[in-house]
Amino acid sequence: MAKRDKNILKERISRLAELKSTGTPAELAVRLDISERSVKRLISEMRKSGKDIRFSQIRNSYETDENFA
């Protein structure tokens, strides 16, 4: 995957997480047309770069730090 494509996907994931509407990793993978493993890898890269993002089992969605609590 090209760096530009990865950055676009990370931005889309970030926006969806802010809206609490990513769905499960499997659902997000279908939505982005990538593998579930790629979703998890991108989330991991986002965390390593300082993005506070985690999965809420209550909402079944990734959320950003602004949405915790």
Token pair 């730090």 is at which residue?
65
Tell me the pLDDT tens digit for each residue of 14-35. 999 999 999 999 999 999 999 9
pTM for this entry? 0.89
**Is 26 in contact with 34 (CB distance < 8 Å)?**
no
Residue 40 pLDDT level (bands cut at 50, 70, 90): very high
Domain extent, residue 53, equals 3-67
Number of domains into which the chain is organized: 1
Percent of the chain with pLDDT over 70: 94
d(CA 66, CA 69): 9
Q: Is 20 left (phi over 0), alpha (psi -120 to 50) or beta?
A: left
CATH code where residue 22 lies: 1.10.10.10
Tokens describing residue 8: 């676009």
Residue 68, pLDDT > 70, answer no
According to DSSP, the residues that pair with 54 across neighbouring strands are 63
